[in-house]
Structure 1
Amino acid sequence: MRASGSGRGSIGAVCALVLALAVLCGCQRWTNSGSAQDTPGTAAASKRPSGYGAEFLARDECSSFGTTSFTEVPCSSERAAARVVARYDGKVADGPSCPATTDFVLHISETRPSSDEDGDGAIPQGYACMRKLEPPHPGDPGGGGGPRTVVGDCVYGAGTGQVRETACDGKGKNPPEYKVTSAVTTRAKCPASTELYVQLGGDRPVGCARPV
């Protein structure tokens, strides 16, 4: 993801939401290289299948929040904290993007138990796009986090050439300075009030941001 300002140069963006040792929110880095780097944050998932489904953390299954790892649990459990909204094999860089309102991404390591005879215990490398069961949802527009920047999100200046996402309601650690108000096909279609251009991807890859 790339952002550049009118007369401001290119701007980088990083977002992070940390729970103990687990990173809950994916990050985007905006550079002036002309290409986006979508690097969701890493959270360790349990390496042992739980038995709640044929696939570990399959779509619509739930996980708990842990201090160092995430465990699959029944969605009816009091320990359930987030639901899988999309699940893909392989690396994030090589696979589809998570849905826009994803709260955080779980990276799942490949595991093949040596004692497993029929392959049922094997877990392929992959990633799960997670949505918390209860608010707040950092992946919502203006929520201040999530693995993707979307229309409605806000950012603030975080040093020379960098911005970071923050909650639009001002309840975050840092107040918002810019808001992505629309997504268009080319920069020329952004309104005159635009001071920051953000590469969003998809069929409307340019985000138009203005001061708030």
Structure 2
Amino acid sequence: MTGRTHEHGRTGLWATALCAVLLTACSGTDPQPVPATPTTGASSTPSPTPSPRPTSVELTDTYFAQGQCAAPVSDRDARVGGVTTYRVASCTDALAVATVTRRSPTVVVTVESATTEPGCEDTTDLTIDLAANLVRATGAQGTDGAMTAYACLRTLREPHPGDPGNGGGFKIIKGDCVYAATGDPGGRTVAETRCDGTGAHRPEYRIRELVELIAPRSTAGGGSCSDTGGTVLTLPRYSRYGKGLPKLACGVPL
């Protein structure tokens, strides 16, 4: 009797389970999904939205005014020598590298202003395109009203790259040394290097005189240095930013 009772109980359980399955299938209702278990350690905090890049920034005459000093935007730039962006700094700042000796007025970019050489002194060590520098420093897309200006600077410590023979500065001047630049079939276009031979290129000529006449490249071959006893050389464009036509110089072979 006991065995039959157990069998009857098992039969009842099977019947109940079967009814439950049939009821679910016939109802047309999809089974509810089981909620996913949150992943341990996953952050639910949304990523911060980056700040929008400013469209433009204002360039005024107070930015790198005469007498202000410049420092690279980071000490790493100062260490590796890859300085391309500067900030206005106190002249007592440990990272300050140069002081502004002359600054051009802030003007609207025109054909004339885009082709005019900055009025820096011959021994200027460094020039800064202030519009480009400000855009890089702020991350803006441009300056308000498409303004432009340049700053001429002298380094705070010696040696001064712009001094004659030191292999740098704003432009090539009398007393500088040069070497024949690559890519010139005639070998008369030159680039600056140190006169003491410690630069990347061996000096080949020392500049004895400059020809102040601004002339196209085609005129360079017709020049003469008979009065000074040198070789006619074509200097690179006056500005580090490519403004102005080449000038001629008389170079003495070394």
TM-score range, shorter chain: 0.5 to 0.7
Picking from 197, 209, 214, the partner of 1:170 is 197
Which ranges in structure 2 are unaligned for 5 or more consecutive residues? 1-56, 78-83, 108-112, 136-143, 214-222, 239-246
**Structure 2-normalised TM-score?**
0.50
Instruction: Find 1:105's aligned residue among 124, 127, 133.
Output: 127
The whole-number CA distance in structure 1 between the counterparts of 2:152 and 2:180 is 28
User: Displacement of 1:195 after TM fit?
Assistant: 1.2
Name the structure 2 match of 1:134. 157
**Is this contact kept in 2: 1:82–1:133, CA < 8 A?**
yes
The CA distance in 2 between the partners of 1:178 and 1:141, in whole Å, is 13
Aligned to 1:72: 88
Is there any run of 5+ residues in structure 1 with no aligned partner, and where? Answer: 1-46, 113-120
Looking at structure 2, the residues matched to 128 and 185 of structure 1 have their Cα atoms a distance apart, in angstroms, of 23
Does structure 1 residue 153 correspond to structure 2 residue 196? no
1: CA distance, partners of 2:155 / 2:121: 13
Bigger RCO (CA 8 Å, 6+ sep): 1
Structure 1 match to 2:251: 209
Return the structure number with greater strand share.
Answer: 1
2:42 maps to none
Aligned to 1:20: none
Aligned counterpart, 2:38: none
* Alignment coverage as a number of residue pairs: 152
SS of 2:152's partner is strand
Deviation at 1:207, TM superposition (A): 2.7
CA shift, 1:163, in A, is 2.4
Which range moves more in the overlay, 185-194 or 70-79? 185-194
1:61 and 2:63 are equivalent in the alignment: no
Residue identity (%): 31
Q: Give the 5 Å matches for 1:6-45.
A: none
Segment drifting more, 147-156 vs 177-186: 177-186
Q: Would you identify which runs of 4 or more consecutive aligned residues in structure 1 move more than 4 Å?
A: 121-124, 184-190, 198-201
Counterpart-to-counterpart distance in 2, 1:54 and 1:159: 39
Q: Which amino acid aligns with 2:149?
A: G
Q: Output one character per residue of 1:54-77: Cα deviation in whole Å (capped at 9) or x when no partner.
A: 711111110102335201011122
CA contact (8 A) 2:118 2:150 kept: no
| Cα distance in 2 between the residues matched to 1:151 and 1:168 | 12
SS in 1 for 2:86: coil
1:195 and 2:231 aligned: yes
- Return the alpha-carbon distance in structure 2 between the equivalents of residues 83 and 123 of structure 1: 25
Could you report, residue by residue, the CA deviation over 1:63-102 in whole angstroms, capped at 9, with x for unpaired residues?
A: 1023352010111222221011110134463354311011
Tell me the residue number matched to 1:94: 116
RMSD of equivalent CA atoms: 3.5
Query: Is contact 1:63-1:71 (8 Å) kept?
Result: yes
How far the C-alpha of 1:185 sits from its partner, in A, is 6.5
8 Å Cα contact 2:68/2:99 also seen in 1: yes
What secondary structure is seen at the aligned counterpart in 2 of 1:109?
A: helix
Name the structure where helix makes up a greater proportion of residues: 2
Structure of larger gyration radius:
2
Question: 1:197 Cα shift?
Answer: 3.7
**Residues 190, 57 of structure 1: alpha-carbon distance in 2 compared, 3 angstrom cutoff:** farther
Question: Does structure 1 retain, via aligned residues, the 8 Å contact 2:190–2:234?
Answer: no
**Are residues 48 and 171 of structure 1, via their aligned partners in 2, closer, same or farther at CA, if it must alter by over 3 Å?**
farther
